[in-house]
Amino acid sequence: MNIMVTNDDGIHAAGIRALAEAMTELGSVTVVAPDRERSAVGHSLTVHTPLRIFELHKGWYAVDGTPTDCVNMGIHNMLPIIPDLIVSGINHGANLGDGITYSGTVAAAMEANLMGIPAIAFSLATFGPSEHFAEAAQIAVHVTRTVLAHGLPSDTYLNVNIPNCPRSSMLPPLITRQGKRSFVGKIIDKTDPRGRKYFWLGGEESHLTDEPGTDFHAITLGHVSITPLHIDLTNHKSLSILSKWAF
Ligand code: MN
């Protein structure tokens, strides 16, 4: 089993170290990850500047690009064979609800799915300091084992969120749907030391609608949340409505 590990928090993040180390239980691990923090870059691809690879130590490669760049570099350039699995994370911070559209962690799994490679994104549900990455990585191994035993449907990749608590107090995984944010976070508006205005997005954690069956609800209760995702953004319900309009 060959496993590629990536993330969006950068190759030096605690979450990717824990995940890569834990995944060695399942197979041979190669890390290809951004050389720095690239959170919230979504599915962006670097096309106007070149990319460079830095080998930090054996099997650990930093790329000066986005998570999506890393998946492309890993598959098309760096790995000798196509990996059996790509895992992304463990992100420092939950990736829940429609907020996942910003996520580089989830986008890396999406890119892997576009390439036909089974993929899982893992996130730890806290933006504060955490001592639970190693335990979360054990959960990641457990989830991955189950996924490998069954095999993912080809148009499916997974978004897994893990509560920030000891494994002993974690509740079992729930299969969930993507929740909805109830409102978008604020913009901080301040003045710099030279008297110029500056703005800072995302001043607070986004609030999600706490509906049963959603990823957010599962995490709030202390369950591991597993959401199957697919890439097709077509609104299938609207197809029949719009097809009746006289365009
Ligand atoms: Mn991140």
Q: What distance in angstroms lies between residue 235's CA and the mean position of ligand 1's atoms?
A: 28
Contacts with 9 (C-beta within 8 Å, 6 or more apart), sequence order: 15, 16, 37, 38, 39, 91, 92, 105
What is the rounded distance in angstroms from the CA atom of residue 224 to the CA atom of residue 216? 10
The domain spans of the chain are 2-180+209-242
Homologous superfamily of 2-180+209-242:
Survival protein SurE-like phosphatase/nucleotidase (3.40.1210.10)
Chain length of the chain: 247
Q: What distance in angstroms lies between residue 196's CA and the mean position of ligand 1's atoms?
A: 29
Q: What distance in angstroms lies between residue 126's CA and the mean position of ligand 1's atoms?
A: 11
The whole-angstrom distance between residue 145's C-alpha and the CA centroid of its chain comes to: 18
Which protein residues have a CB closer than 5 Å to ligand 1 (ion)?
A: 8-9, 39, 91
pLDDT in tens, 176-219: 999 998 766 788 999 999 999 999 987 566 677 789 999 999 99
The whole-angstrom distance between residue 141's C-alpha and the CA centroid of its chain comes to: 15
What is the rounded distance in angstroms from the CA atom of residue 164 to the CA atom of residue 92? 10
Amino acid at 92: H
Q: How many CB atoms lie within 10 A of CB 46?
A: 16
Q: Which residue has the tokens 């097709």?
A: 232
pLDDT in tens, 96-119: 999 999 999 999 999 999 999 999
- Report the predicted TM-score, pTM, of the whole model to 2 decimal places: 0.96
What is the rounded distance in angstroms from the CA atom of residue 239 to the CA atom of residue 232? 13
pLDDT in tens, 140-183: 999 999 999 999 999 999 999 999 999 999 999 999 999 998 76
